[in-house]
Amino acid sequence: MAIEFKAVTTVNGKGIFHNFPALCKGCGLCIEKCPVKTIGWSEELGVYGTPTVEPGHGKDCIACFICQMVCPDCAILIEKIGKDKSA
């Protein structure tokens, strides 16, 4: 039986930020590594009852994918706005 994880989706700057609270343990690595400091703590609780993250706390997202790459639990997915899907 497959498990379906629900994303909290936020459009911010050049990116569409998907956070999966059921996977996020609230380690804060994405907050630390974000070059524009847009990621911060949210009111949403994650898998261990710790706060998850959300964009919108600093400058707009530049869709650099660093947060997605450093997340040890694959709890973040970034989509670049305007990305040509036909390529």
Tens of pLDDT, residue by residue over 33-56, are 999 999 999 998 888 999 999 999
**CA pair distance 69, 55, nearest whole angstrom:** 16
Predicted local distance difference test score (pLDDT) of residue 47: 86
The total of other beta-carbon atoms located within 10 Å of residue 79's CB is: 17
Report the percentage of the chain scoring pLDDT > 70. 94
Distance separating alpha carbons of residues 50 and 75, to the nearest angstrom: 14
Q: Residue 87: which pLDDT band, with cuts at 50, 70 and 90? A: very low
Class of domain 24-78: alpha beta
61-71 confidence digits (pLDDT tens): 999 999 999 99
- DSSP labels, the chain: ----PPPEEEEETTEEEEE-TTT-----HHHHH-TT---EEEEEE-TTSSEEEES-SSSPP----HHHHH-TT--EEEEETT--TT-
